[in-house]
Amino acid sequence: MDLIFWSWPALTLALIVSVLILSLVRRSPFRGGGSAKNGNGTCHTTNENNTVKVLPSPARMPIIGHLYLFQGNPIIELTKLSKKYGDIYKLYLGSVETVVVNSLPLIKEVLMQKGSDFGDRPNFLRYSILFGDNKDNSLAFCDWSSVQKTRRSLARRFCHTGLFADRVETALQTTTDILMAHIRSDIGLGESCPNLKLNLQKACGNIFFDFFCSKVVTEWEEDAEFDRVVKLFDDIFWEINQSHATDVLPFLAPVFKQHLSALANMGTEIRQYVINRIIVPHAAQLDKDNPIDFVDILLTHLEEAEPKNRLTQDQVLYELEDFLGGHCAVSNLLCRAIVEIADSPGMSDKIYVKHFEQGNKEYIQAVIYETLRRTSSPIVPHVASCNSSIGGYPINKGTMIMINNYDLNSSHDLWERPDEFIPERFLLDGGNGRFKKPAHFFPFSYGKRACMGYQLVEKVTEGLILAMVKNFDITPLDNPTQLPIASVALHPNEQLRVKLTPRQ
């Protein structure tokens, strides 16, 4: 999961409309005040030294606040602001009081030391619309609660233990064979292999459906519903990786009515698929004593959990949907890795030789982490659940906290030649030793809201890149695919312009 914050076209429109409807502005739902306690009833003091520290902040405009500062890529703009205002500064994004945090010690303070003070999520209208008019249905966009704790612990048993590890291997094997057959037949259609992205999406979708639900689709062309649902998931993934005017200027919703209702329809369509094709058949054959997959675990929970800890049917349905949707993060990351490999001369052969001829199993992991570093996928914003502090600055309850990891991931002080794709930087002994990830690189975040899918990401991406490299030499075409800055999501219509040459 990740999020780019703002885009200039949306902002321009927001600016015009917001000035026109100035009179509609109401008090922001993000504003703090009230209790100084979080869900656990404890909070860090707002001012450790009894001195009043005021966060640096640029001049702001009425209604739009600091949105006028975002004229280019939002992450680059935030990084530029950090050079001027320091490692922590305050902005108003429309009505949303926001604190931007850039340095590792301050980021760790938010995510780890004071994780329980900053465990909530912003209240964006789109999150609510996508998840049945209640953002708390979503694992990634809900506020912290006991329900979230239960959801995470149910999933952890499945995702984070070796209990079901062989399921990933089996799912990978089954799907890899189908994927390779599709790519081989597509290569005849032209150098650039026109369906490559869609085929990678379907491969990841299939692996996730197989892993979580024991559902395998073998005839990709003939299953129109599978084709549709994979595309819908990708559209939604793109959507949640973009900013939208209504996120921070919610009174603009009527202006974007059409877009917002299209989102609601996408969510509903996916939900129908999950109910009809997955939940109903599973419920009919459920053996509570021998759950075979995640759907069985969820359905058993519905029947057997203590009532006070039991999720509702809706919560179970959305949890499953959230995990299935995780395949888009993997397919987009995989697409980026393929482009990076194509654009780095000799990289495809190098991975082949290191892995298959020299038996160096860590090189591929370094390739994945280097792809993640250059992706610099933003951390989903956190929100203060109580009055607290960061770096000694008081933070109001309800303040949105944006973590700028792009600054760290592209820093010339922390990385040698950060603009280049160099997997060796993650390997000890000058690039020949074991894999090691430095603490200042945390693509899956830290703390209580950290990513739950990182092991799947590693395993599935690794398996599919290796299958690609084993079967094809991956080299660039003229006019290569332009990868977006600080976003894992490629535009749904983006093609992967790489040349695949079958290995002998």
Q: Check residue 140 for interaction with ligand HEM (CB under 6 A).
A: yes
- Name the nearest CA neighbour of 89 among 402, 316, 469: 402
Which residue type occupies 368?
Answer: I
Q: What is the DSSP letter of 276?
A: I
Stretch that binds ligand HEM, among 77-85, 283-291, 351-359, 446-454 (CB under 6 A): 446-454
Interface pick for ligand HEM out of 330, 367, 368, 468 (rule CB under 6 A) = 330
Using DSSP's 3-state secondary structure scheme, residue 185 falls into helix
Count Cβ neighbours within 10 Å for each residue of 310-322 and write b for 16 or more, e otherwise.
ebeeebbbbbbbb
Which residue type occupies 217?
Answer: V
Q: Check residue 451 for interaction with ligand HEM (CB under 6 A).
A: yes
Site for ligand HEM in 400-419 (CB under 6 A): none
- Per the CB < 8 A criterion, the answer to whether 100 and 81 are in contact is yes
Interface pick for ligand HEM out of 180, 249, 452, 490 (rule CB under 6 A) = 452
HSE value, Cβ hemisphere, 13 Å, CA-based, for 15: 15
Interface pick for ligand HEM out of 209, 323, 426, 441 (rule CB under 6 A) = 323
Cα separation, 116 vs 95, whole angstroms: 24
Q: In the complex with ligand HEM, which residue's Cβ is closer, 486 or 488? A: 488
Smallest gap, in angstroms, from Cβ of residue 429 to ligand HEM?
Answer: 27
Q: In the complex with ligand HEM, which residue's Cβ is closer, 63 or 139? A: 139
Q: Check residue 450 for interaction with ligand HEM (CB under 6 A).
A: yes
Q: In the complex with ligand HEM, which residue's Cβ is closer, 15 or 324? A: 324
Stretch that binds ligand HEM, among 34-42, 124-132, 329-337, 475-483 (CB under 6 A): 329-337
Q: Check residue 333 for interaction with ligand HEM (CB under 6 A).
A: yes
Cα separation, 280 vs 361, whole angstroms: 41
Q: What is the DSSP letter of 387?
A: S
Cα-Cα-Cα-Cα torsion 406, 407, 409, 415, nearest 10 degrees, comes to 160
Total count of residues recorded for the chain: 504
Listing DSSP states for 317-367 in one string gives HHHHHHHHHHHHHHHHHHHHHHHHHHHSTTHHHHHHIIIIIS--TTHHHHH
Is 451 marked as a binding-site residue?
yes
Cα separation, 127 vs 397, whole angstroms: 20
What are phi and psi for residue 223, nearest 5 degrees?
A: -100, 90
Q: Check residue 205 for interaction with ligand HEM (CB under 6 A).
A: no
Q: Check residue 457 for interaction with ligand HEM (CB under 6 A).
A: yes
Smallest gap, in angstroms, from Cβ of residue 319 to ligand HEM?
Answer: 9
Q: In the complex with ligand HEM, which residue's Cβ is closer, 458 or 473? A: 458
Smallest gap, in angstroms, from Cβ of residue 457 to ligand HEM?
Answer: 4
- Per the CB < 8 A criterion, the answer to whether 91 and 57 are in contact is yes
- Which tokens is 374 given? 């250059």
Interface pick for ligand HEM out of 380, 383, 400, 427 (rule CB under 6 A) = 380
Q: Check residue 297 for interaction with ligand HEM (CB under 6 A).
A: no
Q: In the complex with ligand HEM, which residue's Cβ is closer, 249 or 386? A: 386
Which residues neighbour 419 within 8 Å (Cβ) at sequence distance 6 or greater? Answer: 410
Q: Check residue 449 for interaction with ligand HEM (CB under 6 A).
A: yes
Q: Judged by CB under 6 A, how many residues of this single chain contact ligand HEM?
A: 26
The 58-97 site mask, x for binding ligand HEM (CB under 6 A), equals ----------------------------------------
Smallest gap, in angstroms, from Cβ of residue 336 to ligand HEM?
Answer: 9
Q: Is 440 exposed, middle or buried (0-12, 13-18, 19+ CB in 10 A)?
A: middle
Q: Check residue 391 for interaction with ligand HEM (CB under 6 A).
A: no
Smallest gap, in angstroms, from Cβ of residue 326 to ligand HEM?
Answer: 3
Interface pick for ligand HEM out of 488, 490, 498, 500 (rule CB under 6 A) = 488
Q: Detail the residues annotated as belonging to a binding site for heme.
A: 451
Binding residues vs ligand HEM (CB under 6 A): 1-2, 111, 139-140, 152, 322-323, 326, 329-330, 333, 377, 379-380, 443-445, 449-453, 456-457, 488
